[in-house]
Amino acid sequence: MPLSPGLIQIYTGEGKGKTTAAVGLAVRALGQGLRVLLARFLKPLEPASGEILFLQGTPGLEILTAGVGVIHGHAPAEEVAHSIAETFAGARRRMMSGAYDLVILDEINNAVHRGDLALAELLSLLDARPSGVEVVLTGRHAPAELLARADLVTVMHAGKHPFRAGIPARRGIEY
């Protein structure tokens, strides 16, 4: 059931909720019988996030995780870049296959910002994707070129956050 048209959505900004919004959209799409690919960049396999634990094995959903994260650790830059390149290539193949209606590239904006993925590669993928594929790009630091191409841009603002008060990430709430 291809979408007509397949749009580009961006969830960016310094505030919390970018991945949460994208996962909520995935749940909505799955509920309507759409096929969803969730490709995760820059996030570690451990600790497993609650949404991934809950959604694993959901019919119509494929989760592709780079597995080398930059949260709560400092993996070698080469290892991070390699995991991003491999995951991006896998996401590209899957997106171009036409097997998915919604493709979420979680934290892709940060992968570009860090220099682990060339902006030109991402723009090329967006241009080449099948017409009925909706794409969601999440992460801080969305480049101006992506913002200009997007059909929907949501900027999450951090008005107040418990991290600033020294409260660490909590299982079930932040991950």
* Rounded Cα distance, 172 and 37, in Å: 22
pLDDT of residue 43: 87
Under the banding of pLDDT at 50, 70 and 90, the label for residue 68 is confident
The residue ranges of DSSP E strands in 83-168, in sequence order, are 102-106, 134-138, 152-155
Across 20-32, average pLDDT? 98
Taking residues 135-151, what's their average pLDDT? 98
Q: Hey, what amino acid is at 70?
A: V
Question: Nearest Cα to 136, choosing from 16, 20, 1, 15?
Answer: 20
Mean pLDDT, the chain, integer: 93
d(CA 121, CA 119): 5
Cβ neighbors of 114 (< 8 A, separation 6 or more) are 42, 80
Alpha-carbon span 73 to 169, nearest angstrom: 14
Structure confidence by residue, pLDDT tens digits, 87-110: 999 999 999 999 999 999 999 999
The domains found in the chain, sorted by start residue, are 8-155 (3.40.50.300)
> Given 3-state DSSP classes, what are the helix, strand and coil percentages for the chain, each rounded to the nearest 5?
40, 20, 40
Under a CB-based contact definition with an 8 Å cutoff, are residues 87 and 62 in contact?
Answer: no
